Structure 1
Amino acid sequence: MAAASSQPIRTGQGFLAGGLIGTLGGLIGLGGAEFRLPVLVGWFGLPTLEAIIFNKAMSLVVVAVALVARLDSIPVGQMLTHAGVAINLLAGSLIGAWWAAGHAMTMSRRWLDRVVLVLLVGLALLLLSEAWLGLGDGAAVLVEAGWLRLLLGLAAGFGIGMVAALLGVAGGELLIPTIVLLYGLDIKLAGSLSLAVSLPTMLVGFARYSRADAFAVLGRERTLFGTMAAGSVLGALLGGLLLGWVPAHLLTTLLGAILLISAFKTFQHNH
């Protein structure tokens, strides 16, 4: 789909897209950035690197708001008790985000599209696995505390930081199952810790991208950014209100299928 030719229409489309993505994200407990990226490229016609930077800036806003909003249910003191988990993952994710963002800026458009396609397909399959296999629902700790778990945490953090930088996402869909399965924590606490890891990880990637010419998209598309952000906030609130109306596994299955189809449609032949 081509970018809208009329600014008012484009503004309205931005609000609508933000609202729909925010609603979907609110329903399944994610920020929706993985769904936003194909929309930015396919609907609004942003080049891939510009769309990633735009998506990352939007994700920063969403994560900051979500982290503050969760402080009532998961206070800072409780999170500090498990600060070691966040530090373990952060030690890897900060390096991964910096490294991946640097390579994304030098990669050709064709190869960047291919990498993004593979990562989005992987996230879609993860959503489908969570829906039907119950990944992230809580289970026995896979690895007991020790050097092995420390090294696995570093490796997982590095990979998650790379994905977050290359897609402009917060990485919660990867962080939450990792924290639950690797460290054996409650899924609600894992959600707050994932936000605490995501915020500095995205800031590092964002700082790295600030050196790219494509960073100018945030100034050129500030109206679209504002309307999408407003729509996303309202959509997230609506998604929270609708929570429980749709069976979780059916909703996650549908969204996984949507992400899979949109990823192929947007990036497979987009050079």
Structure 2
Amino acid sequence: MSGLQKLWLAAVLGALIGLLGGLIGLGGAEFRLPILVAVFSLPTLEAIILNKAMSLVVVITSIFSRGFSVPMESLLPHWLIVVNLLFGSVVGAWYAAGYVMKLAPAMLNRVVFGLLIALALIMFWEHLVGFGETGTPLFQQAWLQALVGILAGLLVGIVAAVLGVAGGELLIPIIVILWGIDIKTAGSLSLLVSLPTMLVGFFRYRQAQAFDALRRERDLLIWMSVGSIAGALVGGLMLGLVPAQWLGLFLAVLLLISAWKVFKH
């Protein structure tokens, strides 16, 4: 494969992933990771770091694009939710990234494999069972809600750091279930949690030798990021045109298969 063919493939695959993710309201980073390893032959840690860089670009773009449908002022009454989750997520991201950098490649593959399988099962649950009724918080006691929010944020930070994802797959259902927020607002709030969380993990990964992959694979990063953003924007505009439940189930199966094929060893 020539250099130009590689870049075009990166753009096309990034656009396809962004499109499919956008159709169900996700960025698709969990699907990019197996592709970076299997198609572009990147070591897993390098793929995680590149995936995190792309996810950062997609999240920043999504924050601005969602501002047209969900104005920032409508999110201000929910700022405590963002702070609550960040108390756990930034800690989880910092320590998880430090842990990942110390893992042997074989063990890292096993950890990534387990988390991707878990995400696929969560996607199954989201699209088969749903989140339940919005407007009713899971807990009435403020202290218990805050404690569970911190623990949930900790889990999100760990997953985001290890896989290089934004964590919307976890954040959106957590916000809907724990605080009873409608799913559209929860999607925007999840981005406000994801951005600082990912920045913390990204800064932590600067200590890894694999961080040099951002310079070495700069063209791949740029082309796949552009494709991912374009696909996500088109998918967002088409949101509702395709049955999200069946598409979500299809993507969950696809994630299971790709995780098994790439990381089972």
- Could you say which TM-score interval applies, normalised by the shorter chain? over 0.9
Question: 1:59-74 maps to which residues of 2 (within 5 A)?
Answer: 59-74=55-70
* Residue 23 (structure 2) pairs with residue 30 (structure 1): no
Aligned residues: 265
Contact 2:89 2:155 in 1 (8 A): yes
1:19 is matched with which residue? 15
TM-score (normalised: structure 1): 0.95
Encode CA deviations 1:204-230: one digit per residue, 9 max, x unaligned: 000000110000111011111111111
Quote the residue 1:172 is aligned against: 168
Answer with 214-223 or 229-238: which moved more. 229-238
Q: How much has 1:74 moved relative to structure 2?
A: 1.9
1:108 aligns with 2:101: no
CA distance in 2, matches of 1:238, 1:181: 28
Query: Counterparts of 1:227 and 1:268 in 2: how far apart (Å)?
Result: 28
Within 5 Å, which residues of 2 pair with 1:155-170? 155-170=151-166
- CA-CA distance at 1:139 after TM superposition: 6.3
Tell me which of 200, 208, 229 is aligned to 2:225. 229
* 8 Å Cα contact 1:23-1:235 kept in structure 2: yes
TM (norm. structure 2) is 0.97
Q: How many Å separate the matches in 2 of 1:78 and 1:72? A: 11
Cα deviation code 1:102-145 (max 9, x no counterpart):
00000110111001001000110111111111136636321114
Letter in 1 for 2:71: P
| Distance in 2 (alpha carbons) for counterparts of 1:237 and 1:154 | 31
Using the aligned pairs only, state the percent identity: 56
Asked whether the equivalents of residues 26 and 239 of structure 1 are also in contact (C-alpha less than 8 Å), the reply is: yes
AA aligned to 1:30 is L
- Corresponding residue number in structure 2 for 1:129: 125
Query: Which stretch of the first structure deviates more once superposed, 64-73 or 107-116?
Result: 64-73
Alignment gaps of 5+ in structure 2: none
Q: What is the alpha-carbon distance in structure 1 between the residues aligned to residue 28 and residue 163 of structure 2?
A: 12
Change in CA separation of 1:137 and 1:36 when aligned onto 2, cut-off 3 Å: farther
